[in-house]
Amino acid sequence: MGLLSDPNRRRALISMLTRLNAPICVVCYFAGVAWFMGLAFEPFTLRTYMSENAMGSTMVEERFPAGERALATGREFAAHKKKVGGMPVDWLVKNMQDRGLEVFTQSFSRTLPFPDENKERYIVKGTNVYGILRAPRAPRTEALVLSAPCSPGDSNNQAVGLLLGLAQYFRNQIYWAKDIIFLVNEHDLIGMQAWLEGYHHTNTTGMSWSPLQGRGGSIQAALSLELSSDVITSLDLVLEGLNGQLPNLDLANLFYAFCQKIGVLCTIQGKLQRNDWDSVSGYSHTVQTMMLMVMKQASGRPWGDHGLFLRYHIEAATIKGVNSFRQYKTDATTIGRLLEGMYRKLNNLLERLHQSYFFYLMPSLSHFVSIGYYMPAFGLLAVILLLRALDLWVQLNTPPSTTEDGVADIDQQSSPGVLSVLTPLVISHLTGVALYALPIRFQETAVEHFPVSETEAVVLTAIAIYTAGLALPHNTHRLLSGEGTEQGWRVLKLVAVLYLAVLLGCTALINFSLGFILALTLVPLAAFVTPHVPKVLSAFILVILSPACTLLFSVFFFQELQEMPVSFQDGWLLYLSVISQGILDHSLYGSLVYPLIALLVYPCWLLFWNILFWK
Amino acid sequence: MTPYGSSPLAGSTHDALTRKSTTASRKMAAHRCSCWSWLFILFSLSVFVVADIHETTPVNDHQGGVDHNAQTAEQTADLPAVEGRRWEATEVKEAGVDAAADAQGTSAPETVVPSSVPQPKDDFQEELVIRPLHSGDIYASFQFRTLWDTDFMRENKVSHYRLFPKSLGQVISKFSVRELHISFTQGYWRTMQWGQPFIPSPPGAELWVWFQDSVTDVDATWKELTNVLSGIFCASLNFIDSTNTVQPSASFKPLGIGNVTDHSFLRYATLPREIVCTENLTPWKKLLPCGSKAGLAVLLKSEKLFHSSFHSQAVHIRSVCQDWQCKTTSWELRQTVNSVFDLHNSGQAKREWSLFKMFSRTLTEACPLASSSKLYIDITDNPEGEQFELSPATSLLSQAVVLGDRRTFSVYDLTQETTFGSVRSLNLLIRWKSNEGEMLRPLLHAERYVAGYGLQTGEIHTLMYNNHPYRSFPVLLLDSVPWYLRLYIHTLSVTSKGKDNKPSYIHYEPSKDRVKPHLLEMLIQLPPNSVTEVTVQFERALLKWTEYPPDPNHGFYVGSSVISSLVPSTVAMDTNSTRERPLFSSFFPCKEESSYFVRIYTEPLLVNLPTPDFSMPYNVICLTCTVVAVGYGSLYNLLTRSFQIEEPNPGLAKRIANVIRKMRGVPPL
């Protein structure tokens, strides 16, 4: 910092930075992207390792024998489910009681803000059933959760069967030190949300539920099981939770270790691990895996029933059974043994899982990228904004050409300057508030006046408001008295660039993927936009790089990554449903991506739009 | 589990002494026992005539007890309306704080009858109660009672110990203890499934002591006492200090004689994290006159005892009346072990249970020093033998009102040879016939949990259920919360049935950081058939980094809250039932039975506090230092100092020239 204390050297440094600003920015951008792509290259990543000693060094034996019986229970459950036409509560209660558990039920109801067309539900009423296996000589202070959703149709019956089978087997074991809660939740995430809110007696989303009667103390870890076939080829691990939160890496390590031990094929993001990292196809495979994780994390929605646990600082993951056309099959007994092993190790925990990483990306199940490795990629992008801000600051500070009465000039210019910055700032944020609040409020009016369903009404209103925001510069100019000056847009851009830097920095700290994806599109836009660039071309680029279009591209890209490419027509429909899901996630589970985009990112983008049309 | 080794009083002298006296007094004891049993039979017969209770149960006598039954049949043949079972009077279990002293005097046959025989100076009784629970589990409760007519306070030097353990006697006299209650519990008593225990205790260790008025510095005495007890019981009681000790104003009254109200002589502390194991059981067993060599204590084998769902061992010392008039007092030492065995674990397919299966021992003799040694089996739920089958059967029955409920027990008197039958050993066997395990609805039960998420604030919820259909009753709630949960007492709310329920008495002592915990005592009226919810919000304190335990991410324990109450009895509830009682006795519910004392403990809480990442102190120190030194320091420098270009330093030649010019009086260069 002696560099800055010395005025001469400071001047030299600043002049170099301003002179070489554009090339440095370009280099930084490409370096950031290259760094990010390099993260998937195996020699650059670390192998996963078990950090928690309580789970690492102890040996457990897996002896679960009753896979066939569990499947039979699953079939019985399916029959009862069909008969009742929903959750067979009485049957489940009786079955859990017979297995020696303390059984409780919780009923809940929730009216969605608008109908969910993907899952075809609007007014949701349901019942959760859970049984607590009390650990002998334990004072009810710690618990583990095993949950299986009661899904409509024929799916997940095997999961419930296996859950009941494990409950019966666990009940006869003596080594439990923590209570184990076996939960069957109806209406997947809504039921899970109701149960978790009931357990912790919070109400964040305005759901109505009946209070829980039995508890097991503070929950240490949870697994959610999804299993829809009698035999499986592989198990898939789902980690991404609400708002991009991830469970402690040790939970993933534990799953991987037991898959290795028992000999079950395991995948993450549905991708098997490959050994040929040095070949191009091997590398692109790991990139795909990592990009899928980035996309899922950036979406901020829970990708399994486990996702809601993370808010309560409970480490949780979903394990999905996948049955594909592969030869090698795994039966229910083996899955039961795997779960038994995992629970025995979790039972050995002395402390909460905290030793390993909470912020990571996984290019494969055996390798991970920690926060220390991926943050520089974002840092390189964010530094562009700071460089641009410095450049603008220097430009603002260089005295104007008229040297004698420069002081008077600046005074004259700065007083409309404050207003010229404040007006677009306020107006664009008001547009953001409208985008956030109006779609749900105006759905009834929209349905009355247009031939659309409620869901379509909400989504189309959102898009309409978003588009209407593009007319903002005219409105702003009408409000402004004088003409925008050269100084004016510089000040506005300085504010906008710093605003964006803070916004992206904070987002990336909480949800790296979201921050990085937004930075990829917004940073170049923020760097180049001025009133003097060609208007039509720049406007086109600006729209292309806006958050809504980023989302559209992400939808196509995600489908591409999942090897399920869609036509533009389907992609557009998918895009509309993604928007409605985002709004629903916010009101049902408290996902923060929609308010973040509507209230902060979109107004910030509008500022740059405003600068482009500066008069 | 850090045993505190060097206690001056934890000597083993009394053990040797006990062994000597065991052999010496066996003969005498045997003689006395037969004499006592004769008195018992006389007494029980007389009671039987008075009680005259309808009894239609056929006796299952196919094993072991044939000759015994024949004998009883002879004895009872000439009595009218007799089916074959004998009834025996049993003292009422201590029904409450007030009733405790009365119960001693009024209903114990031992203190009334033997006025003619020379009374021994000390006396030892042992009993085991086995109750098959609704859930299918088995509850076994051992009680060992040593009475000694001595006064530790007056004589000051009591040197000859016979049955009473010397280590405890010395503790009583040295620390001027009026009453001492200590319990070690592993597990939580599941009231919803098991009903009420005979002696409740919270998970972990609990200690409460009333000191004599003569003690001047109670805190210092308490501190010393906990350290000594820590040595005697091999437990971490030495971790009891001012941060977890409270002085309850109303919840813990003396259980013995004496009407003390000044609670400055009371100290109460719990260690919810204490783990109880063999090392605590062994010193406990050493306090028994027979050790674990004979009598019921042979069943206390740790490998089986710690294989249970619930284990609790306790020592209660108090002074009780010696006789009817209560002119002199004697000291009572009660040692109890309560455990619940899980049938799911031990017997897989066949639902049957035996003494051998539970304890891996059978009973062969009573403790020779014991004046009474009995085994009770609770058969209230099984009057017709439809739920389980008991073998060997006994014809001796006893009835008692325990915790507001009239219970019937089969009694096995271990002091009688016939109990052991021809094989010289008693192995009780229970075979279940029906298979049911439903939830109970105890009149009073409670639960507690922490609500909310995040590491900044939270809320403690305590739920108290009154399941009585038409009676409301008051409960005393005692909450002792460590200082690192900063209670927001203004958020305290008590609601039942959706309405605000104002406590009639609140005693609150705020905490002092690192010195003392919060104490909250409230008297709350529970409306009938309701749930009362007590909530209070708290803030989690950030501890100093040396104050964290080695496993900070495990969480911090908050001890159980204690709920004490006089609960309306279920016996009094069925005023309609005149089946078992004559009409003249059942119009007004009699006082002892109308309500009974219950103390229940809620779950302890495990609360996470904000915890620094201790795994990388080096990184943290480096980062912090770098940020402070480089980032903040230089920024501060840049902001506060103004920079000017200064003239370059003149060279050495120039400076010398200037000095010369100055001497010459010429202006410098």
* Closest approach of B182 to chain A, Cα-based (Å): 18
Residue B328 — very low, low, confident or very high, per pLDDT cuts 50/70/90? confident
Interatomic CA distance for residues B399 and B15, integer angstroms: 36
Tokens 């929209």 correspond to A446
- Confidence (pLDDT) at B344: 65
Task: Provide the pLDDT for residue A532.
Answer: 85
**What part of A 202-221 touches B (C-beta under 8 Å)?**
202, 214-215, 217-218
**Chain A contacts in chain B segment 222-261 (CB below 8 A):** none
Distance of alpha carbon A493 from alpha carbon B486, whole angstroms: 47
CA atoms of B389 and A339, how far apart (whole Å): 40
pLDDT at B427 over 70: yes
The candidate with the shortest Cα–Cα distance to A18, out of A397, A523, A354, is: A397
Listed in sequence order, the residues at least 6 apart from B617 whose beta carbon sits closer than 8 Å to its beta carbon are: none
Q: What is the DSSP letter of B216?
A: S
Q: Do A201 and B439 touch (CB under 8 A)?
A: no
A587: Cβ contacts below 8 Å, ≥ 6 apart: A112, A113, A205, A440
Take residue B147 and report the two structure tokens written for it. Answer: 């009475």
CB contact under 8 A, B345 and A352: no
Q: Which of B187, B272, B633 sits opposite A136 (nearest CB)?
A: B187
pLDDT of residue B438: 57
List CB contacts (< 8 A) between A351 and chain B.
Answer: 551-554
Nearest to B344 among A171, A218, A313 (CB): A171
pLDDT at A4: 65
Whether cis (ω within 30° of 0) applies to the bond prior to A113 is no
Question: Rounded to whole angstroms, how far apart are CA atoms A553 and A559?
Answer: 10
As a residue count, chain B comes to 669
Question: Is B606 an 8 Å CB contact of chain A?
Answer: yes
Q: How confident is the model at residue A402 (pLDDT cuts 50, 70, 90)?
A: very low
d(CA B237, CA B286): 19
Instruction: Please indicate if any CB of chain B lies within 8 Å of the CB of A3.
Output: no
Q: Given an 8 Å threshold on Cβ–Cβ distance, is B645 in contact with A1?
A: no
Mean per-residue pLDDT for B160-170?
87
From chain B residues 185-214, the ones with a CB under 8 A of any chain A CB are: 186-188, 190, 192-193, 203-204
**Dihedral, CA atoms, B484, B489, B495, B499, nearest 10 degrees?**
-160
Q: Any idea which residue has 């050409």 for tokens?
A: A401
Residues of B whose CB is below 8 A from A209: none
Residues A48-104 pLDDT 10s = 988 888 887 667 888 899 889 999 999 999 999 999 888 899 999 999 988 888 899
Do residues B184 and B273 lie in contact, with contact meaning Cβ atoms separated by under 8 Å? no
Q: In this prediction, what percent of chain A has a pLDDT beyond 90? A: 54
C-alpha triplet A268, A274, A277: angle, nearest 5°: 120
List, for residues B288-319, the tens digit of each pLDDT value: 998 888 889 999 988 888 888 999 999 999 98
Residues of B in contact with A102 (CB under 8 A): 190, 192-193, 439
3-class DSSP state for residue B479? strand
Enumerate residues 6+ apart whose C-beta is below 8 A from B460.
B448, B449, B450, B451, B479, B481, B485, B535, B536, B537, B538, B558, B605
Place of tokens 């009661």: A150
Mean pLDDT of B317-336: 86
What is the C-alpha separation between A114 and A440, in angstroms, rounded? 8
Residue B443 reports pLDDT greater than 80: yes
| A60-83 core/surface letters (b: 16 or more CB in 10 A; e: else) | bebebebbebbbebbebbbebbee
The pLDDT of residue B112: 38
pLDDT score of A273: 85
Chain B from 515 to 554: CB within 8 A of any A CB: 551-554
Tell me which H or E stretch contains A385: helix A371-397
Helix spans in B123-266 (H): 152-155, 166-175, 191-194, 218-233
Q: Do A217 and B310 touch (CB under 8 A)?
A: no
- Alpha carbon distance B336, B181 (integer Å): 11
Tokens read off for B308: 């249970």
User: Shortest CA distance to A350 belongs to which of B549, B185, B553, B604?
Assistant: B553
Amino acid letter at A179? D
pLDDT tens per residue, range B244-279: 999 999 889 888 887 777 888 999 999 999 999 899
Q: Which residue does chain B place closest to A177, by CA atoms?
A: B187
Q: Cβ–Cβ of B605/A140 closer than 8 Å?
A: no
- Identify the residue among B281, B308, B447, B606 best suited for mutation to test binding to A, counting A beta carbons within 10 A and taking the highest: B606
Q: For residue A399, what pLDDT is reported?
A: 61
Contact (CB, 8 A) for B248 and B509: no
Amino acid at B362: T
- The chain A residue lying nearest B135, using CA atoms, is A100
Query: β-pairing, B388-391 with B329-341?
Result: unpaired
Measured in angstroms, the CA of A485 and the nearest CA of chain B are apart by 30
The Cα of B306 is separated from the nearest Cα of chain A by a number of Å equal to 8
Whole-angstrom distance, CA of residue B289 vs CA of residue A466: 87
pLDDT at B258 (0 to 100): 73
Residue B412 CA, chain-centre distance (Å), reads: 27
CB pairs under 8 A between A and B: 107
Where helices occur in A398-485 by DSSP H, the ranges are 406-441, 443-449, 454-468, 472-479
Establish if B410 touches chain A: CB-CB under 8 angstroms: no
Q: Mean per-residue pLDDT for B586-603?
A: 73
Q: In terms of CA atoms, which chain A residue is nearest residue B606?
A: A141
For residues B384-409, average pLDDT: 76
Instruction: Say whether residue A53 is in contact with chain B using an 8 A CB cutoff.
Output: no
Question: What span, in angstroms and rounded, lies between the C-alpha atoms of A212 and A195?
Answer: 8
The verdict on a CB contact (< 8 Å) between A312 and B453 is yes
DSSP type of residue B214:
T
> How sure is the predictor about B33, in pLDDT bands with cuts at 50, 70 and 90?
very low
For residue A157, the surrounding DSSP H or E stretch is helix A157-171
Q: Which two tokens stand for residue A386?
A: 């700071």
Do residues B175 and B200 make contact, with C-beta atoms less than 8 angstroms apart?
Answer: no
d(CA B534, CA B6): 44
Are B584 and B429 in contact by the 8 Å Cβ rule? The answer is no
Instruction: Report whether A350 contacts A53 (CB < 8 A).
Output: no
Q: What is the pLDDT of residue A595?
A: 94
Radius of gyration of chain A (CA): 28
| pLDDT number for residue B24 | 38
Rounded mean pLDDT, B450-477: 91
Rounded Cα–Cα distance for residues A65 and B376 (Å): 40
Range picked from A305-319, B28-42, B576-590 for highest mean pLDDT: A305-319
Listed residue (B428, B225, B451) closest to B317, CA to CA? B225
Average predicted confidence (pLDDT) for chain B: 77
B-chain residues near A352 (CB < 8 A): 553-555, 608
Question: Pick from B345, B452, B638: which is nearest to A4 by CB?
Answer: B638
Q: What is the mean pLDDT of chain A?
A: 88
Spell out where B452-561 has E strands.
Answer: 457-466, 473-481, 485-496, 499-500, 505-509, 518-526, 530-540, 556-558
Q: What are A405-461's pLDDT values in tens digits?
A: 444 444 444 445 677 778 888 888 999 999 999 888 888 788 888 888 888 888 888
List pLDDT tens digits, range B467-486: 888 888 999 999 999 999 99
| Interval A305-364: pLDDT, tens | 999 999 999 999 999 999 888 888 889 999 999 999 999 999 999 999 988 899 999 999
Over residues A23-39, the mean pLDDT reads 94
Could you tell me the end-to-end alpha-carbon distance of chain B, in angstroms, rounded to an integer?
A: 85
Q: Which of A1, A139, A217 sits opposite B187 (nearest CB)?
A: A139
CA distance, residue B570 to nearest chain A CA (Å): 24
Spell out the residues 6+ positions from residue A529 whose beta carbon is closer than 8 angstroms to its own.
A493, A538, A542, A608, A611, A612
Interhelix angle A89-98/A67-84, nearest 10 degrees: 150
pLDDT per residue as tens digits for the range B525-562: 999 999 999 999 999 999 988 889 888 899 999 999 99
Retrieve residue B421's tokens. Answer: 């039958």
Q: By the 8 A CB rule, do A69 and A85 touch?
A: no
Cβ burial B625-658 (10 Å sphere, 16+ → b, else e)? eeeeeeeeeeeeeeeeeeeeeeeeeeeeeeeeee
**Band of the pLDDT at A203, cuts 50, 70, 90?**
confident
Which chain B residue's Cα is nearest to A220? B554
Least confident of A534-538, B17-21, B485-489, B515-519: B17-21
What is residue A58's predicted lDDT score, i.e. its pLDDT? 61
Query: Is 60 exceeded by the pLDDT of residue A561?
Result: yes
pLDDT digits (tens, 9 = 90+) for B596-625: 888 999 999 999 999 887 767 777 788 888
Structure tokens, B262: 């000044």
Share above pLDDT 70 across residues of chain B, in percent, rounded to a whole number: 73
Question: Nearest Cα to B167, choosing from B104, B225, B101?
Answer: B225
Mutation to test the B interface, candidates A133, A141, A242, most B Cβ within 10 Å: A141
Q: How confident is the model at residue A400 (pLDDT cuts 50, 70, 90)?
A: low
Please write the tens of the pLDDT for every residue from B178-194: 999 999 999 999 888 88
In degrees rounded to 5, what are phi and psi of residue B224? Answer: -65, -40
Encode pLDDT of A114-154 as tens digits. Answer: 888 888 888 899 999 999 999 988 999 999 999 999 888 88
Q: pLDDT at residue A554 above 60?
A: yes
How near does any CA of chain B get to the CA of A434, in Å? 31
B606, A218: Cβ pair inside 8 Å?
A: yes
pLDDT for res B107: 37
pLDDT at A144: 95
Q: Which residues partner with B411 through β-bridges?
A: B376
Backbone φ and ψ for B90, nearest 5 degrees, come out as -125, 145
Element of type H or E holding A297: helix A280-299
Taking CA atoms, A236 is separated from A155, B8, B318, in Å, by: 16, 62, 63
Within an 8 Å CB–CB cutoff, is residue B506 touching chain A?
no
Nearest CA in chain A to B306: A137
Nearest CA in chain A to B554: A351
- Segment (H or E) for B405: strand B405-413
For chain B, positions 259-298, list CB contacts with chain A under 8 A. 272
Q: Determine the length of chain A.
A: 615
Residue B392's pLDDT band (cuts 50, 70, 90): confident
Question: Which residues from chain B sit within 8 angstroms of residue A1, using beta carbons?
Answer: 630, 633-634, 637-638
Are the Cβ atoms of B451 and A172 closer than 8 angstroms?
no
The reply to whether A47 touches chain B by the CB within 8 Å rule is no
Chain A residues with CB-CB distance to B611 below 8 A: 354
Angstrom distances, CA of residue B120 to CA of A266, A512, B15, B110, B370: 75, 81, 20, 12, 12
Cα(B310)–Cα(B185) distance, rounded to whole angstroms? Answer: 8
Tell me what pLDDT residue B437 has: 53
Stronger pLDDT, B633 or A383, i.e. the higher one:
A383
For residue B57, CA distances in Å to B54, B384, B406 come to 9, 6, 17
Contact across the interface for B311 and A137, Cβ inside 8 Å: yes
Residues of A in contact with B607 (CB under 8 A): 218
Question: Are B637 and A5 in contact (CB < 8 Å)?
Answer: yes
B56 pLDDT band (50/70/90 cuts)? very low
- In chain B, what residues touch A142 (CB-CB under 8 Å)? 606
